[in-house]
Amino acid sequence: MTVQRKRAATIRDVAEAAQVSTATVSKFVNGNQRFTAAVEARISQAVRDLGYSLNPMARGMITGKTGNVGIIILDIRNPYFTNMVKGASRVAASSELNLIIADAAESTSPELGVLQSLCRRVDGLIVSSRLPAPVIKALLETGTPVVFYGRPSPYPQNHNVGCDNYAAALMLGRHLRELGHRRISYLGFSGARWSVDRGRALQDAFKGVDASFRMFDANAPSAEEGERLASTILLSQEMDDAIVTYNDLLAMGVLLEAKALGIRVPEQVSVAGFDNIAYGRLVSPALTTVDMMGEATGELAMRKLVGLIKGETVPLDDDTLQSRIVARESTRARKPRVND
């Protein structure tokens, strides 16, 4: 037993009711021809009477377009991605494209088959650069328009949008340097390609001064994981001047655990993250971060994708957004210590 959906009116039903050919109806609903008043009236009447709306699949067979775009994200619960999706969704809607969201977290690396099947259901794809190289290769070979997010990117010959991670981290590093910090821990997340860029830039920001670094690696970019690792970082040797994390979620976890341990932020240690998610402002101390322009990234990515789908020539080089440091309460100038 299959579900019983009312048989919807087809273009033929409309054509018959309006006493014209299906071609005429087709042109009418696609709005690419002028009609005599009489014909126009008959068709639009028939459309209304029958509640006609065209079958996107039948159209798709001819035009080769699905009317859908896909976006592959790592975890829909991460507010950074949520912001991206928001931006992307807005421009997709304005282009009358539906947004298919594939949460890659389910299958850590989505099987090729699934991805290929997705490809056939969309006119274009926005993709995290985290996918394994062979998968990316197969994806590009399908000819599906793809925009990657995250810069710098390993796919320079393709479209990439986002803030420059190196530049962003450099900015944050300088901020901490100016505050007088010299002992820095970076809690990265090697599951994300951008993490190493951020770590490297952070170190580079301290070139010329005598600074020390420690690197840690999280298993997930989540607050829970930040909490779990915070005590290791906070208690493992003489205290850091500052802890920088791969993202705000990790930083918020660190903040929470620091509080549990009785370590005061920013008095004893500064903490900062990346992304500028909305919740960073609500915790205390309010989190210093770098705004990675999630929503604008999503918008730009989708705008480019729409361009590609329409076959416009989309330039490859206008796609780096400016990040912006958001200094709040969790970072502060280093106080001289007894052993200084």
Residues that bind DNA (CB under 7 A): 7-8, 10-12, 19-24, 26-27, 29-30, 33-36, 38-40, 52, 54-55, 58-59, 61-63
Minimal distance, residue 257 CB to its own copies, in Å:
11
What are the CA-CA distances from residue 75 to residues 220, 279, 328 (Å)?
Answer: 11, 17, 26
**Binding of its own copies at residue 292 (CB under 8 A)?**
no
- Binding partner of residue 298 among DNA, its own copies, none, CB under 5 to 8 Å per kind? none
Q: Which alpha helices (H) appear in 109-221, and where do they start and end?
A: 112-119, 133-141, 165-178, 194-204
**Cβ distance 163 to 293 under 8 Å?**
yes
Residues 233 to 252 in contact with its own copies, rule: CB under 8 A: 252
Question: Is the Cα torsion angle 295, 298, 304, 305 positive or negative in sign?
Answer: negative
Task: Convert residues 138-177 into a mask of x (bound to its own copies by CB under 8 A) and - (unbound).
Answer: ---xxxxx--------------------------------
Q: For strands 324-326 and 288-291, give the pairing.
A: antiparallel
For DNA, give the closer residue by CB, 61 or 316: 61
For its own copies, give the closer residue by CB, 58 or 235: 58
- Binding partner of residue 38 among its own copies, DNA, none, CB under 5 to 8 Å per kind? DNA
Q: How far is it, in rounded angstroms, from Cα 205 to Cα 169?
A: 8
Minimal distance, residue 245 CB to its own copies, in Å:
14
For its own copies, give the closer residue by CB, 278 or 333: 278
Q: How far is it, in rounded angstroms, from Cα 49 to Cα 170?
A: 63
Phi, psi of 131 (to 5 degrees): -60, 150
- Binding partner of residue 85 among DNA, its own copies, none, CB under 5 to 8 Å per kind? its own copies
**Binding of its own copies at residue 220 (CB under 8 A)?**
no
Q: Which two tokens stand for residue 279?
A: 């919740």
Supply the DSSP string of 62-94, one letter for each residue.
HH---SEEEEEES-TTSHHHHHHHHHHHHHHHH
**Binding of its own copies at residue 135 (CB under 8 A)?**
no
* Binding piece for its own copies, criterion CB under 8 A, among 70-78, 171-179, 187-195, 324-332: 70-78
Determine which residue in the list 19, 33, 45, 117 makes contact with its own copies, applying CB under 8 A. Answer: 117
Minimal distance, residue 121 CB to its own copies, in Å:
5
Q: Exposure pattern of 204-229 as b/e (b: 16+ CB <10 Å)? A: ebbeeeebeeeebebebbbbebbbbb
Residues 6+ apart with CB under 8 A from 259: 265
Residues 6+ apart with CB under 8 A from 257: 226, 227, 228, 230, 231, 234
- CB count, 10 Å around CB of 301? 25
- Binding partner of residue 33 among DNA, its own copies, none, CB under 5 to 8 Å per kind? DNA
Minimal distance, residue 91 CB to DNA, in Å:
23
* Binding piece for its own copies, criterion CB under 8 A, among 41-49, 92-100, 181-189, 211-219: 92-100
Residues that bind its own copies (CB under 8 A): 1-6, 8, 53-58, 60-61, 64, 66-68, 70, 76-77, 79, 82-83, 85-86, 89-90, 93, 96, 98-103, 106-107, 113, 116-121, 141-145, 223, 252-253, 255-256, 259, 278-279, 281-284, 308-311
